[in-house]
Amino acid sequence: MRVVPTSDVLEVATDSVEGTRALARAIAAVVEAGDVFVLGGELGAGKTAFTQGLGAALGVTGRIVSPTFTIERIHQGRFRLHHLDVYRLDRIHEALDLDLDEALDDGDVAVIEWGESIAGVLGRDHLFVGIGLGAGDDDRTITLAVHGPSWERRLAGLARIVDAVGPRQVDSTC
């Protein structure tokens, strides 16, 4: 695993689906009530695998699968985890109809697949998790970008946690 920090972005390379899940499990250590994760990446990049790792670390015991056709699945763990897939929403404002703000105000956590399309209307701090395909079949480059003060104050801790998942190699070719 390779970690490259910039001012508010971490870049991590994983080489397996389990590596992506392990990264998410590590990140779960800094999750707070009301957190939002906005996931981006191509089809099959590993957005659901990331959510599976996060959910497992948050105590979700049920199976986590992509909510592509149901739009939202809710799982119980240490927090109620709202797993959304907004790929099929025709309009940005359809996302607002899900009453996510109310759930987050109650201390729930949300993971929004294909969420970059609605990040502007969320009105909340969030961690953007961009998952890019790498050279090998299971290679991924994962970009973690903090948005808002609640994630900015956790950036150093997030970097330490991510670094602990694997050896740190600062590499400008990433």
Terminal Cα distance for the chain, rounded: 12
Torsion of CA 31, 122, 125, 5, to 10 degrees: 90
pLDDT value for 56: 98
How many angstroms separate the CA atoms of 49 and 44, rounded? 9
Of the candidates 104, 84, 106, the one whose C-alpha atom is nearest the C-alpha of residue 148 is: 104
Is the full-model pTM beyond 0.85?
yes
How many angstroms separate the CA atoms of 66 and 115, rounded? 13
How many angstroms separate the CA atoms of 163 and 70, rounded? 35
pLDDT value for 161: 84
Q: Which domains does the chain have, with CATH numbers?
A: 2-165 (3.40.50.300)
Mean pLDDT of successive 10-residue segments in the chain (174 residues)? 57 92 96 95 95 98 89 93 83 62 85 84 86 93 93 92 59 34
